[in-house]
Amino acid sequence: MRSRHAHASGAPREPALAATGRALREAAPAAGTVSAPQAGSVTQFRRYAIPGDLPPLALRYSMQEWAAAWVGDEERSEVDVIEPMGDPDHYRAYPAENVAAGYFEYCGLSDGFLIHFNDITHSRPYPMTVSAPELLRVRIASDDDAEYISARGDRLDLKGAGCSIIVEPAGMPPAKAVLAGHCRAANVYIHRSALQRLYSQREHELPVVLQAFIAGNLRQTVARRLPLAAGLLRCLDDLHGCDLHEHSRRLFIRSKAIEILCHAFKAMAQEEDFGSSEASALMTRGVLRAQRVLIDNFVTPPSLDDLARQAGLSRSSLCAGFRQIVGQTVFDYIADLRMQQALALLNQRDASITEIAYAVGYSHPSSFSLAVQRRFGTSPSELRRRGLPAL
């Protein structure tokens, strides 16, 4: 690996995103070869079948967690050149010829706020599992060949030009993704707390899904494609065509990252099928009111009709709003609340499995055992014995 310029504090630094990219490249087979399946596991994407376990990518909040020291050893051979861009958390990298052709540029803007953009052709598919707790991600591309599968099986096919948004609350199992082919794209990452600071006192202007995300009420990952507006494509072209340097370049990139978010949020709001902004606010208030009712009454929850009346919504609006804002059905939300309480009681170890089943709202202990088995793949007693997972 070569560096075009010496870094002011020593070696150039590599965000954890790029560090994981190294792991992906090390896990991928050499060009022209096929890796052997591990334990018979195969991840089936639409265009790719990936054998073996997928290497993990964990996206974090702090700048320090995004950055780690480069060392000039053989493990870095997949990157040919690192070019510092005037800040420890801003650099451009050029991959080795046997890995990919092109470049990618990373710019950490602040804790919880990052952008990277690239024009790169991968020599082979790079699969991964992705964990990004409390992060919102917007991806725009003029050409792309990526795929994403959320933990609950929602699929995003990102082939060609397009825009997508992924909003992941805390506690989600890892998703799966694969990068391949030619990619000319920009990716903006913003943490829930950073988004809250960006829209301080103006959260009501955001799409209802993002209002729920900021409030901590989103329960499932939201992943969807958005219309690729002309303004988004201009941002992508502006990033790749920027001829500024050092701090001026960093300021310009920050402005484009915010502009990308604003365009994406506008497209997201237009896609929400709730009519006027007044109706959107009414829907959000109603769903949040229903959530509070269920948090207090998940053991013996009201019927859908009664819950809708308490929320000030129709039954159909309540169900649609829950799926849109919370990312779950009402019944799945109740099941999650029950399971959270059940795990807390199992951890206390002074109540029997039957007592816990009744305490969290199951009328039969067998129904509770079946629910735990479906969720965690084991019985309540075995779960208690081996240690409790995080929900």
Q: What are the pLDDT digits (tens) for 164-193? A: 999 999 999 999 999 999 999 999 999 999
Q: Are 85 and 25 in contact (CB under 8 A)?
A: no
Quote the CA–CA distance of 289 and 276 in Å, as a whole number: 20
Angle at 182 between CA 94 and CA 32, to 5 degrees: 80
Confidence of residue 6 (pLDDT cuts 50, 70, 90): very low
- What pLDDT does residue 63 have? 65
Q: Comparing C-alpha atoms, which of 262, 206, 203, 215 is closest to residue 234?
A: 262
User: Across the chain, what does the average pLDDT equal?
Assistant: 82
Q: What is the mean pLDDT of residues 85-113?
A: 91
Q: What is the CATH number assigned to the segment(s) 2-271?
A: 2.60.120.10
Question: Each residue of 36-73: pLDDT tens digit?
Answer: 334 457 888 988 888 888 988 888 777 666 654 333 34
Domain positions in the chain are 2-271, 277-328, 332-386
Q: What is the mean pLDDT of residues 118-136?
A: 94
Confidence of residue 278 (pLDDT cuts 50, 70, 90): very low
Q: Say what percent of the chain tops pLDDT 70.
A: 82
pLDDT higher than threshold 70 for residue 13: no
Q: Comparing C-alpha atoms, which of 49, 18, 223 is closest to residue 125?
A: 49
Question: Each residue of 185-223: pLDDT tens digit?
Answer: 999 999 999 999 999 999 988 988 899 999 998 988 999
- Say yes or no: do domains 2-271 and 332-386 share a fold: no
Place of tokens 């941002």: 235
CATH topology of domain 332-386: Arc Repressor Mutant, subunit A (1.10.10)
- What pLDDT does residue 77 have? 62
- What pLDDT does residue 28 have? 35
> How many CB atoms neighbour CB 377 within 10 A?
9
Q: What is the mean pLDDT of residues 21-33?
A: 33
Partnered with residue 56 across adjacent β-strands are: 129
Q: Are 1 and 79 in contact (CB under 8 A)?
A: yes
Q: What is the mean pLDDT of residues 14-33?
A: 35
Going from the C-alpha of 40 to that of each of 30, 36, 53, 132, the distances in angstroms are: 20, 9, 9, 27
- What pLDDT does residue 61 have? 72
Quote the CA–CA distance of 187 and 159 in Å, as a whole number: 15
Q: What is the mean pLDDT of residues 251-271?
A: 92
Q: What is the mean pLDDT of residues 128-142?
A: 94
- What pLDDT does residue 141 have? 92
- What pLDDT does residue 280 have? 61
Q: Say what percent of the chain tops pLDDT 90.
A: 45
- What pLDDT does residue 20 have? 35
pLDDT higher than threshold 60 for residue 368: yes
Quote the CA–CA distance of 10 and 69 in Å, as a whole number: 9
